[in-house]
Amino acid sequence: MKKGSYIIENTQQIAKNTYRTRLKGDTSAIVAPGQFVNIALAGSFLRRPLSVCDWDEKGLWVIYKTVGKGTSALSKLEPGQKLDLLTGLGNGFDMELAGSRPMLIGGGVGVPPLYGLAKRLMKQGVRPLAILGFNTAEEVFYEKEFAELGCDVVVATVDGSYGQKGFVTDAMPQEGTTFFYACGPEPMLKAVYNRTNTSGQLSFEERMGCGFGACMGCACRTKYGAKRICKDGPVLMKEEVVW
Amino acid sequence: MVDTSVKLCDIQLKNPVIPASGTFGFGHEFAHWYDLNVLGAICLKGTTKDPRFGNETPRIAEAPAGMLNAVGLQNPGIEAVLETELPALRKLYSGPVIANISGFSKEEYVFCCEKADQSPHVDIIEVNISCPNVQSGGMSFGASAKDAGEITKAVRAVCKKPIFMKLTPNVTDIAEIARACEANGADGISLINTLLAMRIDIKNRKPVLANTTGGLSGPAVFPVALRMVWQVYKAVKLPIIGMGGVSCPEDVVEMMLAGATAVQVGASNLQNPFACPEIIDGLPPLLERLGVSRIAELIGAAHY
């Protein structure tokens, strides 16, 4: 974990109410895809936790939906403006569990951390199947980006306006995959949990106080006792999840 | 050279800045960010007799210049705190430790305070009779002078170490509660705990917190906390640990002028993990600018 100053390089709208911001700064604390950053924003007391979509040695990308004041303010910041971030938070996905054919299942703004994961899996010579779920066509993003990495990509929309009609669980193959990584809203995670035969990892979201394990604001129950989503998560093993 | 040290009862603090209970865990997470030994003291997470998971989530909400929490006293229980957490903290930190005790009955307070009193790692016992999150507990004790006095008397009987009673601001007359604690043997007063508050999600028309209500903290509550420290200083002769929205060296000075001997920093630790050391580093230059050579001379100095 590190605290530091980051400079906004650019922000693009990539889908309806969905933005991608590139932040330049020290990324040495980020050690695994699925980790998150906690961003201080003027006008908000608490930081905003956002999963890291991807990173390189010069900076990182976050993708977020403008759901409230904090994320709306972030989307409107100009290039060159500075932000204070805590980086390298949370455990992230464990790539060693992937096997030869992992399935990545993302819903909405749960998709971004799976992109960083897919990129690193491909580098290790593992070709994942990515199943990306959205509500409707205008919310779809990153289909092309996943495909350009070399992944197989299936897009599903709830209303059928793009890709397959239905939920991500409708687009999931029944066999042929070795492991799954899922990130998205809790009802999606639960449905994925119930529909998968393999082991897997699920990334959870919760309202946080600190983001680094001190305040117990984001506690959850697991089969192995209480865990903190921010510190012991956000990624939990399928086998430890209690619904 | 400015002297930032203060004395709480007979315990020497190198500076008056203490991370507040519930915002600092048992110290381990912050040891990643800085050397804990820069702190004046450490106040531990609120501890009960048995382990507690606390309230359901969401437990956290944003507020103007502050935040709400309804953690609900999640903790591993007094035994684990004294036998595991504290010895682990002692490997990282050698300064004064304040144990923070909560309970749901007089017997539970007595049980936990007695255990804490016997621990070689505990220097001061802070008795939380004010947590607004637990429906059957904390709130009611701190809301009446009679109950506050009774708890004070009961824990006093089993403790040799200094006892600070931590008061809730959700009362009509804070001075009356503080006087009841003093009359029953408290060594000091800590205040304020969080202010009972709530938020509603305007899209789904439901309270944001699963617990419906939570405690407001952060800079928003600072003037309220300051007013209550002022009132308690006027009402009792005991040392006061002032807290509530402290976020900068100036707030520390203001709290001390109102009557606090030491100051706790709470919500700011969550927003900025370096809040405490930054405040501590900012004290000597601020005191120099103010022409103050000994920080202790500020205690209660605004009273007339």
Question: For the domain that residue A24 is a member of, what is the CATH number?
Answer: 2.40.30.10
Per-residue DSSP letter, A109: G
What was the pLDDT predicted at A68?
85
Q: Are residues A109 and A222 in the same domain?
A: yes
Which of A47, A207, A213 is closest, CB to CB, to B57?
Answer: A207
**Measured between CA atoms, how close is A167 to chain B, in angstroms?**
23
The confidence score (pLDDT) of residue B131 equals 52
Tell me if A45 and B267 make a contact (CB, 8 A cut-off): yes
Question: Is residue A178 predicted with pLDDT exceeding 50?
Answer: yes
Contact call for A216 and B58, based on CB within 8 A: no
The total of structural domains in chain A comes to 2
Picking from B29, B58, B271, the nearest residue to A45 by CB comes out as B271
Count of A-B CB contacts under 8 Å: 93
My answer on whether A144 and A172 are in the same domain is yes
CATH architecture of B6-56+68-195+215-298: Alpha-Beta Barrel (3.20)
B183 and A CB contact within 8 Å: no
Best probe of the A interface among B26, B60, B100, by most A CBs < 10 A, is B60
* pLDDT given for residue B138 in this prediction: 45
Both A74 and A100 in one domain: the answer is: no
Question: Which DSSP string corresponds to A115-181?
Answer: HHHHHHHHHTT---EEEEEESSGGG---HHHHHHHT-EEEEEETTSSSSEES-HHHHS-SSS-SEEE
Within this chain, do residues A233 and A118 fall inside the same structural domain, yes or no? yes
Average pLDDT of chain A is 97
Query: Token digits for B53?
Result: 């998971």
Pair A168, A221 in one domain: yes
At what angle are helices B145-156 and B106-118 packed, to 10 degrees? Answer: 40
Residues A180 and A139 in one domain: yes
CB-based contact (8 Å) between B69 and chain A? yes
In this structure, the number of other CB atoms found within 10 A of the CB of residue B185 comes to 16
- What element of type H or E holds A19? strand A18-24
Give me the pLDDT at residue A12, please: 97
Distance from CA of B67 to the nearest CA of A (A): 7
Could you tell me if A226 and A112 lie in one domain?
yes
Interface test with chain B among A215, A224, A228, A232, by most B beta carbons within 10 Å: A215
Angle at B168 (CA atoms; ends B163, B169), nearest 5 degrees: 135
Residues A119 and A51 in one domain: no
Q: The complex's ipTM?
A: 0.93
Task: List the single residue in B22, B58, B62 with the smallest CB-CB distance to A44.
Answer: B62
Q: Mark yes or no for CB contact B270/A231 under 8 Å.
A: no
Same-domain pairing of A68 and A168: no
End-to-end Cα spacing for chain A: 29
Say yes or no for a CB contact (<8 Å) between B25 and A3: no
What residues of chain A have any CB closer than 8 angstroms to a CB in chain B?
1, 3, 40, 44-47, 70, 86, 206-210, 212-221, 226, 231
Extents of the domains making up chain B: 6-56+68-195+215-298
Which residues in chain B (141-170) have CB-CB distances under 8 A to chain A? none
Q: Which residues of chain B have pLDDT under 70?
A: 131-139
pLDDT attached to residue B302: 98
Q: Report the pLDDT value the prediction gives residue A104, as an integer from 0 to 100.
A: 98
Q: Which two tokens stand for residue A75?
A: 């989307």
* Last residue within a domain, chosen from A89, A108, A128: A89
Identify whether residues A81 and A115 lie together within a single domain.
Answer: no
Give the per-residue pLDDT at B195.
95
pLDDT at B136: 47
* Containing structural domain, residue A15: 2-89
Per-residue pLDDT averaged across A230-236, rounded? 97
- Helix H, strand E, coil C: the string for chain B is CCECCEEECCEEECCCEEECCCCCCCCHHHHCCCCHHHCCCEECCCECCCCECCCCCCCEEEECCEEEECCCCCECCHHHHHHHHHHHHHCCCCCCEEEEECCCCHHHHHHHHHHHHHCCCCCEEEEECCCCCCCCCCHHHHHCHHHHHHHHHHHHCCCCCCEEEECCCCCCCHHHHHHHHHHCCCCEEEECCCEEECCEECCCCEECCCCCCEEEECHHHHHHHHHHHHHHHHHCCCCEEEECCCCCHHHHHHHHHHCCCEEEECHHHHHCCCHHHHHHHHHHHHHHHHCCCEHHHHCCCCCC
How far away is chain A from the Cα of B114, in angstroms, using its nearest Cα?
Answer: 26
- For residues A185 and A231, membership in a common domain is answered with yes
Which of A89, A120, A146 lies at the terminal end of a domain, its last residue?
A89
What's the pLDDT band for A243 if we cut at 50, 70, 90? confident
The CATH number covering residue A126 comes to 3.40.50.80
Res A189 pLDDT > 50: yes
Q: Are residues A80 and A142 in the same domain?
A: no
Amino acid (1-letter code) at residue B199: R
pLDDT 10s digits, A88-147: 999 999 999 999 999 999 999 999 999 999 999 999 999 999 999 999 999 999 999 999
